Amino acid sequence: MNTFSSDFLTKLRNLEHHLKANIKGQDHVLPRICSVLQRGELNLAHPNRPKGSFLFVGPTGVGKTEITIAFTEYLCGSDHLHRFDMSEFQNQSSVGLLLGNSSTDTGMLGRALDKNTRGTLLFDEMEKAHPLVLDLFLQILDAGRITLANGETRNLNNYYIVFTSNIGAGEAMRMESSAFATIERTVLRRVDQVLRPELVARISEKMVFNRLPYAIQREICELMIRREIERLNRLGHRLTVTSETVELLVREGFHRTLGARPMRNTVDRFLQESAAMPVLGQK
């Protein structure tokens, strides 16, 4: 039986609280995510498979990548997330790009694994990957290892594997008046139609993310403002934001279909311009 420090166990107990404070509008997925992560950190996962695997499905800009960043930073550190955009792996040569093209090349995946012995591998928009790349995911999820072009076999049992996808997002956005349980069933049924069943079956948790209504995007805007002000103030600026400004940024940044991404751009642009103007002698 493993013996864990009290600080480590306290950190694991606080995981859901930490994610809830940093990810808005997706409380329904947090208990299941935290269950996988806590079991993984307690070394309860099967030793011949990754510590945990997830498929996060939903519209763009709703927090699928953000939650992956948040739990990886909390558990492992900010440099332990390795992200692969599957839109770059759409043809047959993509396997070589990922695993290497020669006996001296370990590919993008090998180079990422060289940096850390643990962490998270994030495969964004997995449905865009070439079928041969999807075959690699079967091996990763089932055996917890991968063989690179140089002949090295790398063990992935100390990593979390996250796939994100926009499969079914269009249907979900059109079902605005439907109950979430209905939307969830529709999206997961669409996932089963698009992805190979043996791949879906190997993923620990399949989760559908909510679209972000105005009230939730307002909370996200406030969180973004607070983070960006803290960052800029650490650089020596002294910024404050009035409630009127918050309302302005929420109205300008809100986007029904693109989620929180336009909000981030709106907040960053406004606050960075506010920091730049005094430095440049402008009002």
- Give me the pLDDT at residue 70, please: 97
**CA 167, CA 173: separation in Å to the nearest integer?**
12
Mind listing the pLDDT tens digit for each residue in 222-263? 999 999 999 999 999 989 899 999 999 999 999 988 999 999
Report CA-CA distances (Å) from 110 to 53, 98, 107, 154. 19, 8, 5, 8
8-state DSSP, 210? P
Domain ranges of the chain: 6-208, 214-277
- Give me the pLDDT at residue 1, please: 62
Helix (H) / strand (E) element for 188: namely helix 180-194
Looking at the structure, give the CATH architecture of the domain made up of residues 6-208: 3-Layer(aba) Sandwich (3.40)
3-state secondary structure of 271: helix
- Give me the pLDDT at residue 113, please: 94
CATH number for region 214-277: 1.10.8.60
pLDDT under 70: residue ranges of the chain: 1-2, 283
**CA 130, CA 121: separation in Å to the nearest integer?**
18
Pair 129, 167: CB distance under 8 Å: no
- Give me the pLDDT at residue 178, please: 84
Q: What angle do CA 36, 167, 94 make, to 5 degrees?
A: 85
Structure tokens belonging to residue 113: 């694994």
Pair 14, 197: CB distance under 8 Å: no
- Considering the entire predicted model, what is its pTM? 0.92
Instruction: Give CA 191 to chain center in angstroms.
Output: 18
In the chain, DSSP assigns E strands to 52-57, 81-85, 119-124, 145-147, 153-155, 159-165, 205-208
* Through-space distance between the first and last CA atoms of the chain, rounded to whole angstroms: 64
Helix, strand, coil percentages in the chain from 3-state DSSP, rounded to 5: 55, 10, 30
Pair 54, 162: CB distance under 8 Å: yes
Structure tokens belonging to residue 218: 């307002």
Would the CATH topology of 6-208 be identical to that of 214-277? no
Pair 95, 137: CB distance under 8 Å: no
- Give me the pLDDT at residue 173, please: 81
- Other CB atoms within 10 Å distance of the CB of residue 232: 18
